[in-house]
Amino acid sequence: MNDRADTAVKATATDLEGSAFFMPYTANREFKKAPRMLERAEGMYYWTPEGRKILDGTAGLWCVNAGHCRPKIAEAIAAQAKKLDFAPSFQMGHPIAFEFAERLSAIAPKGVGRVFYTNSGSESADTALKFALAYHRARGEAGRFRLIGRERGYHGVNFGGMSVGGIVGNRKTFGTAMLPGVDHIRHTHDPVRNLMTHGQPAHGVEFAEDLERLVALHDASSIAAVIVEPVAGSTGVLIPPKGYLERLREICTRHGILLIFDEVITGFGRLGTPFAADYFGVKPDMITCAKGITNGTIPMGAVLISDEIYEAFMKGPDGMEFFHGYTYSGHPMACAAGIATLDVYAEEGLLTRAAELAKYWEDALWKLKASKHVMDLRVIGLVGGIELHPREGAPGKRAFEAFTKAFDKGVLIRVTSDTIAVSPPLIVEKAQIDQIVGTISEVLATVA
Ligand code: PLP
């Protein structure tokens, strides 16, 4: 057997050590020694190759909002694959991309409904940042080149998103390649004042004033945009303090700085409204989204743009208004998946279902208050963050152990550092919420 054939055999065997697949954001060697595999899915559940049923407590990766393998979405994708598999979107068009944009526009916050397609959350972040630069240039303010992010922000893995993001791992490894002209406001996490708060923390509106510090340092005339997640997901479910997003909006408006909400996880009903912008009643200038846009079925993202930004481009000189795009921007199969997804969301009221369940969800998660190791609970919409006291000298290990034990007990949760993050599909039933919380409670009782 030659080397290539050997690799092919290993990839299909249960023994994955030496497999060709370099897994993303994964401890490859550890995983391949003791894999956690998912082979099929339906509704709220995954099944492992051995036939174990796993309750999905994380909507895949915050994306399968309508539950798995929904027939309507699968059929739409299959039909589109047979009708028009691909068509270019550069100087050409296909009807379904225009149709989907109208549908997205109809659920977007009022006035933020112009749609530019990408293929992922990371691409959405970089696209929004490029829009900000090009917008100011189009208006004759090319001097606004600075991009402001926030500590503990996550905006994906591309160079723009990574630069405005505040993930230490990214900044340490790729620090030399960060974009110039980027700065950060401080994060909003304040455990001293806000530990164990129900809903939005009472303290911390003043953290928005940190933007004034950067304005004083760099001058507003050099700042193009600020990008924040309304609720930071990847760094441990950080809920904005009361009044914080409103204050950030005021400061941005006062200084002519664009405000971008990264709604890659909060978009499409996660908080009980179509977007977090609706939940908090704050209108950003752009919204980045992905994940739930196609229920996680086909990779896709989008940047939703305000009418003002759109009009500024359309008033420019004749010709191409925005020098940017991806081969797969508005891919027909992704658009078909997206339209079917929005149909399912509408038919089942999923964009607002989290609001109906929020109280039950919150009460259930707060039962963990008395569990061993629990330091903080942060719950909003259908999102829950359970922060554990870190194990002495081994940060992250305790939560990771809870994750593997929960998987063994048939529930998929997610961990980031020492925070367990749960965000089930929006079709979750109360009994399944009880199972998620009950399993977390059991595993916390057994992890050291
Ligand atoms: N932005 C936020 C807020 C995210 O949570 C994520 C992914 O989790 C991204 C961007 C990156 O999205 P993707 O992994 O689709 O590139």
Give domain status of residue 115, yes or no: yes
Give domain status of residue 3, yes or no: no
85, 56: one domain: no
For 269-308, write each residue's pLDDT tens digit. 999 999 999 999 999 999 999 999 999 999 999 999 999 9
Q: Which residues of 105-137 are buried (b: 16+ CB within 10 A; e: fewer)?
A: eebbbeebbbbbbbbbbbbbbbbbbbbbbbbbb
Alpha helices in 54-158 (DSSP H): 59-62, 71-83, 95-107, 121-138
Q: What is the CA 116 to chain-centroid distance, rounded?
A: 17
For 413-447, write each residue's pLDDT tens digit. 999 999 999 999 999 999 999 999 999 999 999 99
Amino acid at 420: I
pLDDT band for position 176 (50/70/90)?
Answer: confident
Cβ 121 under 6 angstroms from ligand 1? yes
Query: Number of folded domains in the chain?
Result: 2
Among 331, 347, 363, give the residue marking a domain's end. 347
- Collapsing DSSP states into helix, strand and coil, what is residue 385? strand
Measured CA distances, 367 to 9, 78, 274, 441 (Å): 47, 44, 28, 9
What DSSP letter does each residue of 198-221 carry, written as one string? Answer: SSS-SS-GGGGGHHHHHHHHH-GG
Strands 383-388 and 419-422: antiparallel
Report the side by side order of strands in the sheet with 383-388.
374-380, 383-388, 419-422, 414-416
Cα-only R_g, the chain: 22
What DSSP letter does each residue of 138-192 carry, written as one string? Answer: HTT-TT--EEEEETT----SSHHHHHHS--HHHHHHHGGGPPTTEEEE-----HH
Euclidean distance between CA atoms 421 and 413, whole angstroms: 7
Give domain status of residue 161, yes or no: yes
Q: List CB contacts of 13: < 8 A, sequence separation 6 or more.
A: none
For 341-394, write each residue's pLDDT tens digit. 999 999 999 999 999 999 999 999 999 999 999 999 999 999 999 999 999 999
Measured CA distances, 34 to 183, 264, 347 (Å): 41, 31, 41
For 65-87, write each residue's pLDDT tens digit. 999 999 999 999 999 999 999 99
Give domain status of residue 9, yes or no: no
Among 347, 379, 413, give the residue marking a domain's end. 347
Amino acid at 360: Y
Print the domain residue range for 374. Answer: 36-66+349-446
Give domain status of residue 98, yes or no: yes
235, 354: one domain: no
How much distance in Å is there from the Cα of 421 to the middle of ligand 1?
Answer: 15
Q: Which residues of 381-420 are buried (b: 16+ CB within 10 A; e: fewer)?
A: bbbbbbbbebbeeeeeebbbbbbebbbebebbbbbbebbb
What is the CATH classification number for the domain harbouring 181? 3.40.640.10
Tell me which residue has its CA closest to atom 13 in ligand 1: 121
Instruction: Indicate whether 3 pLDDT > 80.
Output: no
257, 202: one domain: yes
Query: Do 66 and 345 meet the contact criterion of CB atoms below 8 Å apart?
Result: yes
Span 46-50, mean pLDDT?
97
Euclidean distance between CA atoms 316 and 142, whole angstroms: 14
For 148-167, write each residue's pLDDT tens digit. 999 999 999 999 999 999 99
Among 302, 319, 347, give the residue marking a domain's end. 347
333, 370: one domain: no
How much distance in Å is there from the Cα of 155 to the middle of ligand 1?
Answer: 6
137, 277: one domain: yes
How much distance in Å is there from the Cα of 446 to the middle of ligand 1?
Answer: 32
Give the pLDDT of residue 169: 85
Euclidean distance between CA atoms 77 and 337, whole angstroms: 6
pLDDT band for position 13 (50/70/90)?
Answer: very low
Query: Among 129, 291, 294, which is best to mutate for testing ligand 1, by the most ligand atoms less than 8 A from CB?
Result: 291
Closest by CA to 185, choosing from 127, 225, 158, 221, is 225
Looking at the DSSP bridge assignments, the partners of residue 421 are: 385, 414
233, 280: one domain: yes
Query: Among 65, 122, 124, 303, which is best to mutate for testing ligand 1, by the most ligand atoms less than 8 A from CB?
Result: 122
321, 353: one domain: no
Side-chain-side CA neighbours of residue 292 (13 Å): 30
Q: List CB contacts of 397: < 8 A, sequence separation 6 or more.
A: 390, 391
Give the pLDDT of residue 14: 61
Structure tokens at 232: 């930071």
Euclidean distance between CA atoms 70 and 230, whole angstroms: 29
Give domain status of residue 278, yes or no: yes
Quote the Cα angle for 190-194-198, to 5°. Answer: 135
Cβ 122 under 6 angstroms from ligand 1? yes
Cβ 265 under 6 angstroms from ligand 1? yes
For 211-265, write each residue's pLDDT tens digit. 999 999 999 999 999 999 999 999 999 999 999 999 999 999 999 999 999 999 9
pLDDT band for position 6 (50/70/90)?
Answer: very low
Euclidean distance between CA atoms 448 and 446, whole angstroms: 6
Eight-state DSSP code of residue 270: T
Span 88-96, mean pLDDT?
98
What is the CATH classification number for the domain harbouring 389? 3.90.1150.10
Point out the ligand 1 atom lying closest to the alpha carbon of residue 262. 3
Is pTM, for the whole model, over 0.85?
yes
Give the pLDDT of residue 171: 83
Point out the ligand 1 atom lying closest to the alpha carbon of residue 266. 3
Structure tokens at 358: 């929020």
Q: Average pLDDT of the chain?
A: 96
249, 204: one domain: yes
171, 240: one domain: yes
343, 411: one domain: no
Euclidean distance between CA atoms 229 and 21, whole angstroms: 31
Give domain status of residue 11, yes or no: no
Structure tokens at 8: 């092919």
Eight-state DSSP code of residue 293: G
Euclidean distance between CA atoms 306 and 284, whole angstroms: 8
53, 108: one domain: no
212, 106: one domain: yes
